[in-house]
Structures are given as structure tokens and as C-alpha cells.
């Protein structure tokens, strides 16, 4: 761990040890390490689960050879030094078998986040996660934003950022580009927001 000014930078090994300790004492640790900063995510509410259920059904119906793995930990960023827990990771069925808490992200076709109603959403889901997933070369990042009632599809990672980002309001059809190749009808999403 390094302290510079008012910033603390946590090394991956220190995070992994802290995570192991807290996982034994907490019912479900939802911690992440992005850009050397430890983040703790609040637990999802029931509507969040409904969004994920809808998306899982859409994915399995369109691409039965894939599975939307909920909250699978991924090694992200340069040199896989970060630790992220997307709400869903779309990958071939069986892709994470035999892997531990933090899996290799290479088989992931799409990372998914459904925003939570918390103060960290803007930094975490709209800024840090897209950058971390682009640095990891995850082909598609799908952000379902319950605050703005929009879906944003990030694609074409260049190793630093996603070169393409398309945002549509709930109710519009959105195409998830290859290698995902799924079309989502988002009208239902309007019914599950505050």
C-alpha cells in the first residue's frame, strides 16, 4: 500500500489478502479494486435483480451457447492488477470452471452493470468500469442506467478506452455488436425504475 498526499494506492496482493479476510467475516463481500482504489458496492435491490433476470433471459434465448454469469470476479486492467465484479459477464457456458474468485477475463464477450442508487455509481459504473474493461479488451460493456433510464453500449476497445458508445433511452431497441450479436427490446425496463 502506498500513500501519496490524500490518495492511497493498494497493491493487488494487499487487496487479495484483505478480501480473503473480509470474505470470512462478511456474509457477502462485494469489494473491487480499480485504479488501485478499493471500492465496496452495496447489495442490489429487488428491481436490480429483475433487470438482471430480464437480461439473462434475453441472452440465453438469443445465444444458448453462452451464459450470463452473475457477479463473477474478473482480473482487469493492465497486467490484470485490478479486481472487478460486474453484475454480469457474458461468456461461453463453462468458461470459468476451475477458476477461483477472480477469473481470467479472456472468454468474456460482454461485461454488464446495472446502476445502483448510491453515491459511487457515477465514478464506478460510468467512468472507472468502462475504462477498466476497455483496458482488459472486453469487447462490449453494457451499462443499464436506472438513474437516467438509458442503456449505453460501449464497444471497440482500443486497450485504453472504448472507441464507440451508443446510448438509447429505455423503450428503444438496442443492438449489441459482435461478438455478442444480440438485439434487446428495452420497453419493459421503464416499469422497473423508481
Q: Which residue has the higher pLDDT, 47 or 166?
A: 166
pLDDT, tens digit (0-9, with 9 covering 90-100), for 165-182: 999 999 999 999 999 999
The end-to-end CA distance of the chain, in Å, is: 40
pLDDT at position 11: 79
pLDDT at position 38: 81
Sheet of 102-103, strands arranged across: 37-40, 31-34, 82-84, 73-76, 102-103
Q: What is the mean pLDDT of the segment spanning 7-12?
A: 70
pLDDT, tens digit (0-9, with 9 covering 90-100), for 65-120: 999 999 899 999 877 888 999 999 999 999 999 998 899 999 999 999 999 877 77
Q: In order of start, what are the domains of the chain with their CATH numbers? A: 44-192 (3.90.1570.10)
- On whether the CB atoms of residues 151 and 114 are closer than 8 A, the answer is no
Q: What is the mean pLDDT of the segment spanning 42-70?
A: 91
pLDDT at position 71: 80
Q: Assess whether pLDDT exceeds 70 at residue 29.
A: no
Global pTM?
A: 0.84
Q: Kindly state the percentage of the chain with pLDDT values over 90.
A: 61
pLDDT at position 7: 57
Residue among 186, 182, 111 nearest 146 (CA): 186
pLDDT bin (cut points 50, 70, 90) of residue 13 is confident
Mean pLDDT of the chain: 87
Amino acid at each position: 500500500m502506498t500513500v501519496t498526499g490524500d490518495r492511497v494506492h493498494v497493491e493487488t496482493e494487499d487487496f487479495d489478502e484483505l478480501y480473503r479476510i473480509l470474505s470470512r467475516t462478511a456474509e457477502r463481500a462485494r469489494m473491487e479494486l480499480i485504479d488501485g482504489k478499493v471500492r465496496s458496492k452495496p447489495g442490489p435491490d429487488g428491481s436490480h435483480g429483475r433487470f438482471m433476470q430480464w437480461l439473462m433471459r434475453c441472452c440465453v434465448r438469443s445465444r444458448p451457447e453462452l451464459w450470463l454469469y452473475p457477479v463473477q470476479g474478473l482480473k482487469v486492467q493492465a497486467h490484470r492488477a485490478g479486481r472487478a465484479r460486474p453484475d454480469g459477464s457474458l461468456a461461453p457456458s463453462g468458461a470459468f470452471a476451475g477458476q477461483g474468485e477472480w477469473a481470467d477475463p479472456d472468454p468474456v464477450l460482454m461485461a454488464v452493470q446495472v446502476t445502483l442508487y448510491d453515491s459511487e455509481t457515477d465514478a464506478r459504473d460510468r467512468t472507472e468500469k468502462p475504462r477498466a474493461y476497455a483496458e482488459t479488451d472486453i469487447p462490449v460493456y453494457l451499462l443499464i442506467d436506472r438513474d437516467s433510464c438509458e442503456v449505453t453500449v460501449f464497444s471497440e476497445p482500443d486497450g485504453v478506452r472504448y472507441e464507440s458508445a451508443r446510448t438509447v433511452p429505455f423503450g428503444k431497441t438496442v443492438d449489441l455488436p459482435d461478438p455478442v450479436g444480440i438485439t434487446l427490446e428495452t420497453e419493459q425496463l421503464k416499469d422497473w425504475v423508481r
